[in-house]
Every structure is written in C-alpha cells, then in structure tokens.
C-alpha cells in the first residue's frame, strides 16, 4: 500500500529549549498509522536520514508488543527562570522532574524546583554536555546536596563520562553521545554510564531503539526529541515494550508545545501515559 499522505507541520514551543523555538517536520501516513519526521536543527544530515527511516517504520509497521499498558514519565523543565521552573514542576504533577542546567541559573533553578516539589519527588538534571570534566565534578558536588537522582550528559563525550562516573556520587546517564548502535556498544565497552537515555527518532525508529536497549545492558530511559504527540506515540511504544524500570521516561514534552497536531495530545495524567497511537486530526484537512 503506498503512503496515503505527507503533511507538513510547524508548531511553536512555549519556552525555548536550547535555542529551539519551533518544531517543524512532516507527518507520514502508512499502513499502520502515522509517523513523524522532525529532526532537530542540530542533527546531522545522516541523523536526519536515519530519523526519516524511523518515521516510515512507525507509519508502516505495528508497534511492538507492549509489556505495560502505561508508563511513568518525567516532566522536563527548560532553562527558564527559577520561579517559572518551580511553577512548571508543581503544575506537571509528575513524580520525577528533569531540570535543564549548564547555564548560570542552573543550580538556582534546581533549588527552586526542590523547594517547590518537596523531598519525595525525584529530580534529574541535564547539562547537555555543557561542562568539562573538572567543572562537572564541582557542579555535581554542589547539586548532590539537593538529592539528585540522575545527571544526564554532564560532559560531552563517552570517554569523559567514563572518567566522571568514577568520581561522582550521582548516577550518570548518556544521551547526546548516543546516536547509533555503535555508540551504544562503545558506551558499554567503556562502562561509561549507569543509564542510557535514548531518542528513538534519532537512532532510527522503534525497532532499533529496542535493539540498542538490549545491547546497553543497563537501565534505559526513552526520551523525546520535542516531537508532536504523533512522534511521542512511537517513543511511548518503545518505553512500553521495555522491562519495568526505576526511572521514569522522558516523554512528557507535549505540554511544551504551544499547540499540538491533535485534539487529543499525549499529555500525562497523574504522571503517566497510556499506550496508544495518535491521529493528527487538526491537520487532516491539509493538502498532501
């Protein structure tokens, strides 16, 4: 069956995320439903091509068998002022909050979130590789006082992660440096991380994300690339097919969009998402 249609989309973000203010791409309809192709501006041409293959897979093939009907997710707080971060964390109602750091307000942002959500909520931090090794050690020593569950990408490379992991009391997660299956193998060879954070779109789709998770040999967190709810459905399918984990998945980003492509977006209820496909009903009148 040929593809029925490809629909372009462009949606604004409520808050910039590392300079990204708008998410644009294509929604692709196939035999199984809808897939999303929306490579981030920072991705290479090869990563964009890999993401396209993942979108076609999501459109043409059923999602894998789920081990869970729903998954726990974290909310994500961009580099916003601390008082805004605190309000966003409380409003989300999730048991895990990921806070972007790596900027001058990073520690104040985390402190404001901790004060707002109290001691029972897990807080993760994500530096997006902003620090060198020695700065990461200093920063994480300070942040450890705020009871941090996990630090994602404190340094930019797997080799640096491997060194940091041996000098840091906070569990370390790799995401930015993981773009291919080969990167996962190298992460495991170096024993560089306690947790793998994987973006299914960037690595090439649902099936290869699950292969990467199996190869990793450590807990896996599935993370969005700020997709619309159509793309988030594929991320959710990966998370639902993985064994249960102590770590919530990073798929709660639909709330960061000023407007989604569907009237029934994948927004969390009591910190969780129920597995389902999403139809872009707000765009279905668009031309092919």
Q: Pick the catalytic residue: 23, 79, 100, 109?
A: 100
Q: Residues 14, 80: contact at Cβ < 8 Å?
A: no
Q: Residues 138, 101: contact at Cβ < 8 Å?
A: no
The Cα-based distances of 264 to 14, 22, 243 in angstroms read 18, 20, 27
Going by C-alpha positions, the residue among 249, 266, 265 that lies closest to residue 96 is 249
Q: Residues 231, 27: contact at Cβ < 8 Å?
A: no
Q: Which residue has the tokens 């560089």?
A: 192
98 is catalytic: no
Q: Pick the catalytic residue: 124, 139, 199, 249?
A: 199
Q: Which residue has the tokens 């798929």?
A: 251
Give the angle subtended at the CA of 219 by the CAs of 218 and 223, to the nearest 5°. Answer: 125
Q: Which residue has the tokens 């909050």?
A: 97
DSSP state of 157: S
Q: Residues 220, 245: contact at Cβ < 8 Å?
A: yes
d(CA 245, CA 226): 22
Torsion, CA 260, CA 264, CA 269, CA 275, rounded to 10: -100
Active site residues: 100, 199
């Amino acid at each position: 069956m040929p593809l029925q249609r490809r629909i372009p989309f462009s949606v604004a973000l409520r808050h910039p995320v590392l300079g990204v203010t708008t998410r644009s791409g294509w929604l692709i309809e196939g035999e199984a439903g809808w897939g999303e192709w929306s490579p981030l501006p920072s991705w290479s041409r090869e990563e964009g091509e890999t993401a396209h293959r993942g979108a076609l897979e999501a459109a043409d093939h059923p999602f894998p068998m789920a081990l869970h009907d729903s998954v726990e997710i974290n909310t994500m707080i961009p580099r916003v002022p601390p008082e805004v971060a605190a309000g966003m964390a409380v409003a989300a109602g999730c048991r895990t909050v990921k806070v972007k750091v790596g900027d001058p307000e990073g520690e104040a942002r985390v402190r404001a979130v901790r004060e707002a959500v109290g001691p029972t909520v897990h807080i993760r931090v994500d530096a997006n590789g902003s620090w060198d090794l020695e700065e990461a050690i200093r920063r994480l020593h300070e942040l450890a006082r705020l009871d941090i569950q996990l630090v994602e990408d404190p340094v930019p490379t797997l080799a640096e992660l491997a060194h940091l992991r041996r000098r840091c009391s906070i569990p370390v997660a790799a995401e930015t440096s993981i773009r291919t299956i080969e990167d996962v193998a190298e992460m495991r060879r170096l024993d560089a991380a306690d947790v793998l954070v994987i973006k299914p779109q960037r690595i090439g789709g649902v099936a290869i994300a699950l292969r990467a998770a199996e190869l990793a040999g450590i807990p896996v967190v599935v993370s969005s690339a700020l997709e619309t709810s159509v793309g988030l459905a594929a991320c959710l399918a990966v998370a639902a097919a993985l064994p249960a984990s102590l770590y919530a998945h990073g798929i709660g980003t639909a709330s960061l969009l000023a407007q989604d492509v569907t009237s029934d977006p994948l927004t969390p209820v009591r910190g969780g998402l129920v597995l389902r496909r999403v139809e872009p009903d707000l765009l279905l009148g668009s031309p092919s």
